[in-house]
A and B are shown apart, each in its own frame.
Chain A
């Protein structure tokens, strides 16, 4: 058995606070994806499959060089190839590595009803614990990036783990290590943000991308995977990266007010029944009802 553990700071479906939460200082890990230097070689895809022991599957051709249209339960990392027409009519590739964003405020974790099926480690990684997963699929609707994928054979949901087995031992994730063009970086969140801002500044000052910027959406509390984009004002162009991702309002409502109203209704019901009993006593069967052939 594994000796490796990571401390948990957020836990899905858990009543009350997470024990020991926030009592220890730990660095936040972060992946930085500089889409401006991605060459679309897919080494990260292969490295991910190889490390995680996922099957090498057949690719699909849908009039693009993309391996397949979307990530899958056993394919956690896909480069989205997008042909973009510049205002002057010339074409350029926008290639974006699509995988779990490891949000600080994860929608999947908020939506999950199973205790500790989705956890966020103290280093910021959001991970699924398949042995606690009940296969309801609510995380899929809670995710603004369309990342969790359901395996209908095992009735469990899977996604990128940010190679938590590697980073718990001090290694970098497999995709980061493989990247031959150096467009993927790994480090602490602070360092990655600094590096990203520096690169975005370079793109603005020397490469003519006036809108270049960093994608670290505040709607989900920032992410553990940040992008440097040529045009940060238009992230949708990069294979549907949402401009301002948030946890869906249904999930918020259902896990917020509705949950508390429900709890109130349960507690209120019990109190009402108790009061009713104290005031009126137990319900007794009258003798004449019996005589009319009712239940004995």
Chain B
């Protein structure tokens, strides 16, 4: 058999088509995967608010902090650079996303008045004013200038301050300054289990 040039081209074309249709694909098979949901999300370092161990967490939120974006949390996981937990979290810490994205989360100040059986909303300014007034009233009424022996003590025993595990050094510095200036002696912290 001596095919002409025309026949050769015909055979070649048909054979090539058949090969590609019937499947002689030598390219490796790949599977496409679900997108890494935190790939370009904003990563924010924070501290787990639950117990006094104070594990470091990474909070991932949508967007890149651009002006027109309202960030919302999409994922929370342990911070591998944090010396306390080195990326690990307990089940409560691992569910922090649920703590943030929760319709029952309280996002504004509330007050339960003496004798009342329910919580009522109060604005931030009102809350601050009320706290300030009560502190002033309590301090004016109970400030101790001299103890029984007549020593000058200038202390306030009727107010106590308690801090949380997420408080930073800077915050605690300010707390001590402010509270000591009022004369508060009972400074306590949750981080001592």
A→B interface (CB under 8 Å): 1-2, 4-8, 11, 16, 18-21, 23-24, 41-43, 45-47, 50-51, 53, 56, 116, 119, 121, 127, 129, 161, 164-166, 168-169, 171, 174, 177-180, 182
Q: Does B25 contact A (CB under 8 A)?
A: yes
Given contacts A41-B90, A46-B94, A177-B77, A127 and B31 within 8 Å (CB-CB): yes
Whole-angstrom CA separation of A85 from B156 in the bound complex: 58
User: Within the complex, what minimum Cβ distance (angstroms) separates A161 from chain B?
Assistant: 8
Residues B30 and A47 in contact, CB atoms below 8 Å apart: no
Bound complex: CA of A6 vs CA of B91, how far in Å?
30
- The answer to whether B35 and A178 have CB atoms under 8 Å apart is no
Known contacts A43-B89, A43-B91, A178-B88: does B31 contact A5 (CB below 8 Å)? yes
Please determine whether A7 and B28 come into contact, CB atoms closer than 8 angstroms: yes
Contact A8-B90, Cβ < 8 Å, known A56-B95, A166-B36, A169-B36: no
CA distance A19 to B97 in the complex (A): 41
> What are 10 of the A-B contact pairs (CB < 8 Å)?
A4-B32, A19-B27, A19-B28, A21-B29, A43-B88, A51-B75, A164-B33, A165-B37, A174-B77, A178-B89
> Is the beta-carbon distance between B91 and A18 smaller than 8 angstroms?
no
The 10 A-B pairs at the shortest CB distance, nearest first, are namely A20-B28, A2-B35, A46-B94, A8-B29, A5-B30, A165-B34, A180-B88, A47-B94, A43-B91, A4-B33
Given contacts A19-B29, A20-B28, A119-B31, contact A46 B91 (CB under 8 A): yes
Please determine whether B26 and A19 come into contact, CB atoms closer than 8 angstroms: yes
Q: How many whole Å from B32's CB to the nearest CB in chain A?
A: 6
CA distance A53 to B93 in the complex (A): 16
Across chains A and B, the number of contacting residue pairs, with CB separation under 8 Å, is 108
Across the interface, A23 reaches (CB within 8 A) one of B28, B31, B39, B93, namely: B28
Q: Is the interface of B mostly helix, strand, loop or mixed?
A: loop
Excluding A19-B25, A169-B36, 19 further A-B contacts by CB distance (< 8 Å) are A4-B36, A5-B30, A5-B31, A5-B33, A7-B30, A19-B26, A20-B28, A24-B28, A42-B91, A43-B90, A51-B75, A51-B77, A127-B31, A129-B31, A165-B33, A166-B36, A169-B39, A177-B88, A178-B78
0/1 string, B15-48, CB within 8 A of A gives 1: 0000000010111111111111101000000000
Residues of chain B within 8 A (CB-CB) of A178 are 77-78, 88-89, 94
* Distance from A131 Cβ to chain B, minimum over Cβ atoms (Å): 10
Closest chain B residue, CB of each to CB of A168: B33
A129–B30 Cα distance when bound, in Å, is: 12
Q: Give the complex CA separation of A178 and B93 in angstroms.
A: 9
Q: In the bound complex, how far is the Cα of B31 from the Cα of A168, in angstroms?
A: 11
Output the nearest chain A residue to B80 by Cβ-Cβ distance: A177
Tell whether A177 pairs with B98 under 8 Å between CB atoms, given A41-B91, A127-B31: no
